[in-house]
Amino acid sequence: MAGKKPRVPASPRPKVTVELMSLALSRGISRVLPFEPELTPPVFALLSANLLTIILAIIGNWDAASTIFIFWAQSVIIGIFTIASIIGADTLAIKADMDARYRERGEYIVLDPHQVKKHQYILAVMFFVHYGIFHLAYYDFIINSAILGPVDLAQYGIWFSCAIFFANHLYSFLFYRTRERRGEEYVNDTFIGPYFRIVPMHLIIFIGAVVILILGILGISSTLPVLVIFLLLKTAADLAMHLWKHAA
């Protein structure tokens, strides 16, 4: 028809893809971390595990003691996979690194792979002892002292959350197992690394628990929003330390 303007097709809306979401998250994290993060599937799995725990905390109206117990369990899980990582490290790569270190010092010592494997087992036992003692004392503080209140271990949500974290760390362990060089530096970092990871996240949660305890003393019973805020901060610390551990 004369005089009718032709219709201009509307430009398609940009699709929100996983790649775009990953890029946006990577840019956001890189602004607060001193390195460029690599957003692998275990990163999103860890984020999902923490967010599911926050949802369960809201649904179950968890108190501070129950929440701290869950993250104590997560620390134990981290310890289990730390021992597995030390024992399962590449013995030949460790041997090559140690031989090179000896040569740099002018000591021409050639180690036997069986000696190196024995060294891995000794490190694993040492880690088990000091990490285990720390967590036994921590368990006694959470459960037996009941300073922050009793922990209702009959809540299904607590054990479901623990299972989620176990599955997350198992997936991360299997994912990185063949993607990282597991030599001497890897073993040394793995031996001490859990403390750099669990101390910040537990410090955040513990401060949150103290704040909630003070609010309860002051007669403020609605403390769940405060708990959620500290859970979000714990999630950020957990993600940051995971990215630091697996930084290229």
**6: confidence class by pLDDT, cuts 50, 70, 90:** low
187-192 LR contacts (CB < 8 Å, sep 24+): 187/86, 187/89, 187/94, 187/120, 187/123, 189/245, 190/82, 190/85, 190/86, 190/89, 191/82, 191/86, 191/123, 191/126, 191/127
* Overall average pLDDT of the 23-44 stretch: 60
Query: Is a pLDDT exceeding 70 seen at residue 84?
Result: yes
* Overall average pLDDT of the 211-236 stretch: 75
CA distances 180 to 85, 104, 177, 216, 233, Å, are 11, 24, 6, 47, 28
Say which range, 20-29, 74-83, 100-109, 173-182, has the weakest mean pLDDT: 20-29
Question: How is residue 154 annotated by DSSP?
Answer: T
Give yes or no for a contact between 245 and 57, defined as CB atoms under 8 angstroms apart.
Answer: no
Report the alpha-carbon distance of residue 160 to residue 175 in Å, rounded.
22
Tell me the pTM.
0.76
**160: confidence class by pLDDT, cuts 50, 70, 90:** very high
Query: Is a pLDDT exceeding 80 seen at residue 80?
Result: yes
Tens digit of each residue's pLDDT (9 = 90 or more) over 208-220: 777 777 777 777 6
Task: Please count the CA atoms within 13 angstroms of the CA of 63 that sit on its side-chain side.
Answer: 16
